[in-house]
């Protein structure tokens, strides 16, 4: 089997979020898949399988060093970047089956900062949002993050979002508060088990020259990941949160930045589809307010290395 190391949500190697991609995994049993993922614990692993039916083009399964995960955004970008480089898929839309169902994964050429890039984008149905977390529990989370309660956002509540996995979205006051987070991971692990959250996604939102911008950090000790450099799935959850709170002010696109504190900066392009224009994204008035019906998460990926898995002796 061919294996690739890929950096996702970035245009440059050694940044963004690393993922391992294993091609032609058909025939591998569960123990082998888990063992391969444990061999590369620094990154989540996407295994590529042939399609199992006429309603999709390929199947992906995702493992980290601890367990299988229904869906992983950055590993999806990584896998499709590899397939594009090998000519095993084309620009346009490919139908992917994974643990959350079938979704469209598009690929197109874009120009950014004067350079041409291939941008890969997946479309997800809207994540579910729980009721706001009670203040007493939010303060316990802040304590586990070693963040004074006064440095949480003064009015936005913490909420758990669900889409394949669960993340507690924690709004903080500003960039300085975000940078100061230094978690007590044992406390986070216990709180995650108690609250039913696989990870903690702290964020701050600002208004950039070209529209809304978010900066975020994510901590997932339950998945064996102290801090995740860049998460696509969590940004889909964040989109649902921001839309529900009316914070996008009619905008249906924002840029999410993550990974700077780890020296692996990444960029996530987030597009929201509403009922008013979901079937016609190029309509004259695409910012018409309406119910959120889908979120599209996009970004680039670059192959760092490739090789072949040796046969078991």
Tell me which CATH homologous superfamily contains domain 128-298. Diaminopimelate Epimerase; Chain A, domain 1 (3.10.310.10)
Cβ neighbours of 311 (radius 10 Å): 6
Tokens at 7, concatenated:
């950096």
Q: Which CATH architecture has domain 2-124+301-308?
A: Roll (3.10)
What pLDDT does residue 282 have?
39
Does the active-site annotation cover 44? yes
Cβ neighbours of 313 (radius 10 Å): 3
Which residue stretches of the chain have pLDDT < 70?
Answer: 276-289, 312-313
According to DSSP, residue 8 is labeled E
**Backbone dihedral region of 114: left (phi > 0), alpha (psi from -120 to 50 degrees) or beta?**
left
Tokens at 102, concatenated:
């079938």
Is there a contact between 202 and 44 (Cβ–Cβ < 8 Å)?
no
What pLDDT does residue 165 have?
87
Is there a contact between 293 and 276 (Cβ–Cβ < 8 Å)?
no
- Please write the tens of the pLDDT for every residue from 27-73: 999 999 999 999 988 889 999 999 999 999 999 999 988 889 899 99
As a whole number of angstroms, the distance between CA 7 and CA 302 comes to 5
Whole-structure pTM value: 0.89
What pLDDT does residue 259 have?
97
What pLDDT does residue 284 have?
34
Tokens at 73, concatenated:
């955004």
What residue ranges do the domains of the chain occupy?
2-124+301-308, 128-298
What pLDDT does residue 129 have?
97
As a whole number of angstroms, the distance between CA 7 and CA 91 comes to 20
**Considering Cα of 124, then 226, then 206, then 108, what sign does the dihedral take?**
negative
Partner residues linked to 18 by β-bridges? 7
As a whole number of angstroms, the distance between CA 153 and CA 173 comes to 4
Write down the catalytic residue from 30, 39, 44, 306: 44
């Amino acid at each position: 089997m061919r294996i690739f190391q890929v950096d996702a949500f970035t245009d440059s190697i050694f940044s963004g979020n690393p993922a391992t991609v294993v091609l032609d995994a058909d025939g591998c049993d569960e123990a082998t898949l888990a063992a391969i993922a444990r061999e590369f614990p620094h990154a989540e692993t996407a295994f590529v399988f042939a399609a199992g039916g006429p309603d999709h083009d390929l199947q992906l399964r995702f493992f980290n060093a601890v367990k299988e995960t229904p869906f992983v955004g950055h590993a999806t970008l990584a896998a499709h970047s590899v397939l594009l480089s090998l000519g095993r898929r084309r620009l346009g839309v490919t139908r992917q089956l994974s643990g959350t169902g079938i979704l469209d994964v598009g690929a197109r050429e874009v120009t950014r900062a004067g350079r041409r890039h291939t941008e890969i984008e997946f479309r997800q149905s809207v994540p579910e949002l729980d009721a706001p977390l009670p203040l007493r529990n939010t303060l316990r989370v802040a304590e586990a993050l070693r963040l004074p309660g006064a440095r949480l956002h003064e009015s936005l509540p913490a909420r758990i979002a669900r889409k394949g996995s669960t993340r507690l979205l924690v709004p903080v006051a500003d960039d300085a508060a975000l940078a100061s987070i230094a978690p007590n991971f044992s406390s986070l692990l216990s709180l995650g088990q108690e609250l039913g959250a696989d990870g903690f996604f702290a964020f701050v939102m600002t208004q950039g020259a070209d529209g809304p911008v978010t900066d975020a950090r994510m901590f997932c000790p339950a998945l064996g990941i102290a801090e995740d450099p860049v998460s696509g799935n969590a940004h889909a959850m964040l989109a649902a949160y921001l839309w529900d709170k009316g914070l996008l002010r009619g905008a249906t696109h924002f840029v999410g930045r993550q990974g700077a504190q780890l020296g692996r900066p990444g960029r996530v392009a987030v597009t929201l589809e509403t009922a008013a224009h979901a079937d016609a994204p190029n309509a004259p008035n695409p910012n018409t307010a309406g119910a959120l019906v889908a979120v599209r998460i996009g970004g680039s990926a670059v192959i760092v290395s490739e090789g072949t898995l040796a046969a078991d002796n």
